[in-house]
């Protein structure tokens, strides 16, 4: 029986499911292991059920020669060197689709909270400062009828566009490396524009691009300078897509009105300059964190691991592969 490692705490029923196929070592204390601890625990393991906390690269693969599958409980996989895994014939899988709608819900909620100054209003009330009504009390920006800008028009971007266009009557503009088919644009009344136009026209800009070397600091000081001073920026993509120091500077100077952030550079330690700003809504990377969605993500990751290691009804055919797995394995 193959041995597998589950690197972080997960639903007990998922561990039970994996135990029907493998000898499972897991992490009941939910510690974030050091690199050396991870390598030690991966010795003799055929598969790893991981999260975004673990870095899998060529060095780790060389130190763990028995590893045949790396299955992440996430849609993003920038912590995995896919090319190195492919070169060694190691499956890489992720969990797309199952978190699309929940993440879009959260992104829209975060955008609205930033636009309407919701967390600022809550702090104002909790401090006991609400004593009377006045006409300009915590005035924010409307979402309905505004221009929604989306940078990255994949599954989640399109789900956000639907909410904006069909639910709130927003004009939707987007920028993507590849333009959507006309019928997909028409379904949400979306209009492709270049990046500079997107930044200039958006009342509410939502970032949904995957992280890579090319998207690092895609939004920095120069890009923020193109935005309207009344605009909001929402990041549910990945930390590093935004230059957080430049964003904090822009927010403090009123260069843009507000931001809603679920992801950060240096997670789980956000840039301290963001923490005391009144015009930013902060959440701890929880866009997919609904009960049903997190269960679906864990179940899909487990199904991928089972199939990748040649077990179950989909043996050898994981449902959501990122790479070709053992094809051409040396």
Residue 235 sits in the same domain as residue 126: yes
The pLDDT assigned to 183 comes to 94
Q: What is the pLDDT of residue 327?
A: 65
Each residue of 134-160: pLDDT tens digit? 999 999 999 999 999 999 999 999 999
What is the total count of domains within the chain?
Answer: 2
Q: Please check whether residues 124 and 142 belong to one and the same domain.
A: yes
In a domain, 84, yes or no: yes
Query: If you average pLDDT over every residue of the chain, what do you get?
Result: 96
Regarding whether 149 and 82 lie in a shared domain, the answer is no
CA distance 170 to 204: 10
Check if the beta carbon of residue 160 is closer than 8 Å to that of residue 104: yes
Q: Are residues 246 and 194 in the same domain?
A: yes
Residue 77 lies in a domain: yes
> Does the residue 272 lie in any domain?
yes
Which of 193, 190, 204, 239 has its CA nearest to residue 219?
A: 239
Res 328: pLDDT: 46
For tokens 């701890």, the residue is 284
Q: 42 near 67, Cβ under 8 Å?
A: yes
Q: Give the CATH number for residue 303.
A: 3.40.50.720
Q: Does one domain contain both 161 and 295?
A: no
Q: Is residue 316 part of a domain?
A: no
Q: Are residues 161 and 229 in the same domain?
A: yes
Both 172 and 234 in one domain: the answer is: yes
Claim to verify: residue 200 and residue 243 sit in the same structural domain = yes
Dihedral Cα 163, 164, 166, 168, nearest 10 deg: 110
* Structural domain includes residue 318: no
User: What percentage of the chain reaches a pLDDT higher than 70?
Assistant: 99
Residue 27 shares a structural domain with residue 175: no
Beta bridge partners, 144, equal none
Q: What is the pTM of this model?
A: 0.92
Statement to judge: residues 159 and 272 lie in one domain: yes
Alpha helices in 192-290 (DSSP H): 195-201, 221-226, 244-253, 272-275
**Both 65 and 187 in a single domain?**
no
Q: pLDDT category, 182, cuts 50, 70, 90?
A: very high
Residue 313 lies in a domain: no
Instruction: Establish if 326 belongs to a structural domain.
Output: no
Same domain, 80 and 107: no
Taking the CB of residue 78, how many other CB atoms lie within 10 A of it? Answer: 17
Q: Is the pLDDT of residue 330 over 80?
A: no
Is 315 a domain residue?
Answer: no
Residues classed as catalytic: 238, 267, 285
For residues 50-56, average pLDDT: 95
Sign of CA dihedral 214, 115, 257, 269: negative
Q: What confidence tens digit (pLDDT) does each residue in 235-280 have?
A: 999 999 999 999 999 999 999 999 999 999 999 999 999 999 999 9
Domain limits at 66? Answer: 3-96+291-308
Which residues, other chains included, contact 95 with Cβ-Cβ below 8 Å and sequence gap of 6+? Answer: 72, 73, 74, 75, 296, 297, 300, 301, 304, 320
């Amino acid at each position: 029986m193959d041995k597998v490692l589950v690197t972080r705490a997960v639903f007990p029923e998922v561990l039970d499911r994996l135990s029907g196929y493998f000898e499972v070592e897991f992490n009941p204390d939910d510690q974030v292991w050091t690199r050396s601890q991870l390598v030690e625990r991966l010795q003799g393991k055929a598969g790893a059920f991981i999260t975004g906390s673990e870095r899998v690269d060529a060095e780790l693969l060389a130190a763990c020669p028995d590893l045949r599958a790396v299955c992440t409980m996430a849609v993003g996989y920038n912590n995995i060197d896919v090319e190195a895994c492919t070169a060694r014939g190691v499956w890489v899988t992720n969990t797309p689709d199952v978190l699309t709608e929940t993440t879009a819900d959260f992104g829209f909620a975060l955008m609205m909270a930033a636009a309407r100054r919701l967390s600022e209003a809550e702090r104002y009330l909790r401090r006991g400062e609400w004593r009377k009504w006045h006409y300009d009390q915590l005035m924010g920006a409307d979402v309905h009828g505004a221009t929604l800008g989306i940078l990255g028009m994949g599954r989640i971007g399109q789900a956000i566009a639907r909410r904006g266009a069909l639910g709130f009557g927003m004009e939707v503009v987007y920028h993507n490396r590849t333009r959507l088919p006309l019928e997909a644009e028409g379904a949400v009344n979306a209009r492709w524009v270049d990046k500079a136009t997107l930044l200039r026209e958006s009342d509410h800009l939502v970032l949904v691009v995957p992280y890579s070397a090319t998207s690092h600091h895609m939004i920095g000081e120069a890009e923020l300078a193109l935005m309207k001073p009344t605009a909001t920026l929402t990041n549910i993509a990945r930390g590093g897509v935004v230059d957080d120091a430049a964003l904090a500077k822009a927010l403090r100077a009123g260069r843009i009105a507000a931001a809603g952030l679920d992801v950060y550079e240096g997670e789980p330690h956000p840039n301290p300059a963001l923490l005391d700003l009144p015009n930013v809504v902060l959440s701890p990377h929880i866009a997919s964190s609904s009960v049903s969605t997190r269960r679906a993500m864990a179940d899909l990751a487990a199904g991928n691991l089972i199939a990748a290691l040649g077990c179950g009804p989909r043996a050898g055919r994981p449902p959501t592969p990122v790479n070709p797995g053992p094809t051409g394995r040396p």
